[in-house]
A and B are shown apart, each in its own frame.
Chain A
Amino acid sequence: MKKLKIILPMLAFIFAIALSFAFAGTNETTVQGYYEASPDNWQPVNVDCEGSSDCKIRFLPDPTIHQVYATPDASQPLDGSGEIIDL
């Protein structure tokens, strides 16, 4: 019984390690991009952008729509489905 008190938490610890490795990378469909929060203020953002249209995001309840770019400048707009992604 005394050994079980030590083994059980250790098993839980090992189980959680396995669980985190199993789930890590399952959300990797998202890409990192940048949006212009205010003039010359670029912020990083993770978005699920796939497609050949624009990648646009919106931080609800703020109705402002932001285009997502690959770099913190407006030179490389990221491609997306064209739909506005609410974050």
Chain B
Amino acid sequence: MKWVQEHKGIIVAVISTLFIILFTYAGLTKLLEGHRFYDNIRNSPILGGETLASLASWMVPLAELTVALLLVRSRTRLMGFYGAMGLMLLFTGYTVAIVFFAPYRPCSCGGVISLLSWEQNLVLNLVLLLLVIMAIVLHYPNDKTSNGSHSNKSIKNQVNI
């Protein structure tokens, strides 16, 4: 745990770089391959529906690219991590629904990740979700410690007064 605290800057940087590559690649691939992502949602046993498919085929890749851009700048990185957590929760929820509740399994989304089975995809999503939660947690102690020490100082000052 001490090691993690000592290297938290590097850990957060590595996690953010990983998510920048992941979301940029996934978002752009979905936009470049056009109809494929739309067809995958249309074929989905859970979602389906023309309106939802056309909406999601634009919203999901745009959200992924926005999160990747938020992660690039250090000022907006925390916001980016929250966005990444939201997207990962969405993807994990969808994968859980496909694995455990769907009447049949559709072909997966394309790109390199299409080589994985739905179970492997679920494990990958859970690992990524844990990583993003870890990044958010590691982002916070800085503020908390500074605020905490500040409040401790002010309490001491108040006591002294």
Contacts and interface: CB of A to CB of B under 8 A. Distances in A.
Contacts of B69: 13
A27 B21 contact: no
Contact of B13 (A8, A15, A20): A8
Interface residues of B, number: 34
Given A9-B71, A16-B28, A60-B105, A23 B111 contact: yes
Contact of A45 (B13, B39, B71, B74): B39
Interface string B93-105: 0000000000111
Given A5-B74, A9-B72, A87-B107, A20 B43 contact: no
B28 A21 contact: yes
A19 B13 contact: no
A20 B42 contact: no
Interface in A24-54: 24-25, 27, 32, 43-46
Interface of A: 5-6, 8-10, 12-13, 15-17, 19-21, 23-25, 27, 32, 43-46, 59-62, 87
Interface of B: 13, 16-17, 20-25, 28-29, 32-33, 35-36, 39-40, 42-43, 68-69, 71-74, 103-107, 110-112, 114
